Chain A
């Protein structure tokens, strides 16, 4: 409840001391202890299953070994040719570059397509034809066109990230409240002004949905591309882990991939909260 809502409330408001942080922490710990216990039990069970040899060392490794492998990989380039940090950096750079380039082209394109009919008519057929084809299906063609290496991977990732940006920006701006457009017209705004001041801001929530999907797609596609054709990166790491029959490397790699992806999503959510919180953009 903010100051304005408080002022409008007809009921008596009695100021109170907000719950102290320590109490909140205690309450959340109490709430979550089931989760903590369950996770601990899971880890213990996993450890036991491996130690007791129920699953062989070539298939699964216990969590304790994962920890040692992880620490080792942070600085050790064996056995695949790069440290964990180097691989992560390679992957991140590629994914974020592809993502960024896709956003820079895709979001404006989607917004313009949704607003200006002629552009829509021209571009939508191409888009609708290309869309059903999963980005991964482009890999063989990309390899023939651009060879095995960075350009092909970058192209696929860009393509995968590009599509959700366009679609969501397009839908977002198409859903602009027509009443608001009317208001702008009555005040004499030009089409460009209406687009820029009404259409785009009201499309922002959906644009961010598109960004999240796009980020997810670029990260997923990056992993696929690196699995198939790479000499560095997290996808390459887990592929090497398989070739060397070392499940600990694979699992450490998988968890790193998951964690990094989650971290990026979290980052995007924070950016959204700062710049596009629904309170600001509620039209």
Chain B
């Protein structure tokens, strides 16, 4: 395979020649473009997801890409169509059920989300076995592949990203209000339920897009790690949103470059780089917080004395 031959060479230590090598092949340019589009969408939508503490729902919607892709294969449609249908349907189910919940605490919503996820994956496995034994490339459905992305796919991804980001730009302010303080927002006449349902649908759209590059199981890394890292670094809204996007892009580029030069799966590199960024931010945060905690304690001791 092409990358196998290239992987043997590895990167030289000259960044400029490495960069020109990275962009020398059209397939790699397509992968970088697609990765960038996906990282921007995931960075923005994921930022709201982390703020709304909907990581579990996000993960559930993202694994729906697997039944989506296998169902599409089974009936002979494009995988992308299957992604959007299944992620959208799961978002609707979770949103509708959240509206019909009985007043019994938060555990019930998570039980529902977990059930939706398991049933979705079970359907995916069923479609896979109906399709005929174990599909040769089921791994790339689950874990992603950056090879063979066409220019047309890049354009389609860009279109979806523009729609998703446009919707968020319109609904961003009330959504932010509803996410930070649901009750006050509701009292002020913000339609918090409709916004919640709409956001889940948007999340489904975003993960269906992202899954095409990262695979169903690893979307979540791009959705959760950059925003969580950004929100650790700064609590201010606009800077952390921008930081989330920038981190997402950097993580994707570094991951793609590593996968290009060293012959291991791109999903491994992207998740590892994302995890490293989060760990560094978390350690830095706790180091930065420590002196202030000490001084607060000293002040309290002084006040007591």
Asked if A pairs with B, the answer is no
- Using CB atoms and an 8 Å cutoff, list the residues of chain A in contact with chain B: none
- Using CB atoms and an 8 Å cutoff, list the residues of chain B in contact with chain A: none
